[in-house]
């Protein structure tokens, strides 16, 4: 869950993990630790037609989630970190 001081300018002030509720480290509008952010837009033929979900997971909750997958996530190494 993200909170912004100024919604129009997207000035980030807080991120809270939707699963465990831990507040992630944000300094001067920049996230300072690992975070998984998801946006899921449901369309026709789903049980949530027209609904969009947004959520954030801390790195620990993300690791727990993917450890439960029947098929492992694909992984590669980035050559540049943004």
Listed residue (13, 3, 15, 11) closest to 61, CA to CA: 15
Q: What is the pLDDT of residue 79?
A: 87
Band of pLDDT at residue 37, cut at 50, 70 and 90: very high
Q: What is the pLDDT of residue 24?
A: 98
Three-state SS at 42:
coil
Entry pTM: 0.85
Separation between Cα atoms, residue 25 and residue 16, nearest integer Å: 9
- Other CB atoms within a 10 A radius of the CB of residue 57 amount to 22
Separation between Cα atoms, residue 80 and residue 21, nearest integer Å: 30
- Other CB atoms within a 10 A radius of the CB of residue 58 amount to 22
């Amino acid at each position: 869950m993200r909170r912004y001081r100024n919604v129009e300018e997207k000035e980030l002030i807080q991120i809270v993990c939707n699963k465990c509720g831990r507040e992630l480290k944000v300094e001067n509008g920049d996230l300072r630790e690992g975070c998984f952010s998801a946006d899921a837009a449901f369309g026709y033929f789903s049980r949530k037609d027209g609904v969009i979900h947004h959520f954030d997971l801390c790195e620990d909750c993300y690791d727990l989630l993917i450890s439960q997958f029947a098929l492992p996530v694909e992984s590669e190494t980035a050559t540049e970190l943004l």
